[in-house]
Amino acid sequence: MMWLVWLVLAQQPVVHEQCRQCHTEAAADAESHPHFAKGVSCDACHGASEKHRAASGHVAPDRVAVRAQVPALCGSCHPAEKKSYETSRHWVALQEGGRSAQCATCHGNHSLKSARALQATCERCHSQRPEACGKEKCSTCHAPHAFAKAAKR
C-alpha cells in the first residue's frame, strides 16, 4: 500500500496533465476528489496508458474496469471496505449480473458524492422500502458496507 502510493505520487503530475489534454471533464472531477490531494490520479485506476495516448484514444487504455471488477480495483487500496462489501446482498446481486450497487455506483467514478447525493442514489434503486425504514439517513440503520437488512447500529 505505501509503496503503491509512493509510486503513484512520483508519476502523478506528468500523467495526469497528459490525460487532461483530452479528458478535461474527468480531470476536473478527479481533482475535486480527496484522492487527488493524496496523489491518486488517472494512472492509479487506468494505468499510464501510453499506447492509448499515442494513438489519440484509438487503442484502449491499460485498464478499464467493468462493473463487476470495480470492487477489486477500489479494494486494492480500501481492503476493509471491500471485505465488508463482500458480505452484502449488493455483492451477491452484482455477481449474478443484476443491476446492483458497486463502489463507484455509490461513490462516483471521479468526483466524490456528497452525503445527500449518496442517499439519493440509494433511493433510486430502493424507492419501495419497508415502513421500518422511516425517514432517517439510510446508514443510521444499515451500516456500510454490509448494508444488512435489519442491522440496528
Residues 6+ apart with CB under 8 A from 79: none
- The binder of ligand HEC chosen from 10, 22, 59, 120 (CB under 6 A): 22
Sign for the CA dihedral angle at 118, 123, 129, 133 comes to: positive
Among 13, 41, 97, 117, binds ligand HEC (CB under 6 A): 41
| By CB under 6 A, residue 74 contacts ligand HEC | yes
The residue from 2, 3, 97, 98 that contacts ligand HEC (CB under 6 A) is 98
Q: Please state, in angstroms and rounded to a whole number, the distance separating the CA atoms of residues 3 and 129.
A: 44
User: Min. distance of Cβ 63 from ligand HEC in angstroms?
Assistant: 7
Q: Determine the Cα–Cα distance for residues 129 and 147; give it in Å rounded to an integer.
A: 14
* Chain position whose Cβ is nearest to ligand HEC: 57
100 binds ligand HEC (CB under 6 A): yes
Q: Taking CB under 6 A as the rule, does residue 35 contact ligand HEC?
A: yes
Q: Residue 78 is placed in which grid cell?
A: 480500501
Burial class (CB in 10 A: 0-12, 13-18, 19+), 56: exposed
What part of residues 103-142 is at the interface with ligand HEC (CB under 6 A)? 103-107, 109-110, 112, 115, 118-119, 121-126, 129-130, 132-134, 136, 138-142
CA dist 95 and 98 (Å) reads: 7
Minimum distance from residue 120 beta carbon to ligand HEC (Å): 9
Q: Tell me how far apart the alpha carbons of residues 89 and 39 are, in angstroms, rounded to a whole number.
A: 32
Total residues contacting ligand HEC (rule CB under 6 A)? 84
For residue 101, state whether it binds ligand HEC (rule: CB under 6 A): yes
CB of 111 to ligand HEC, least distance (A): 10
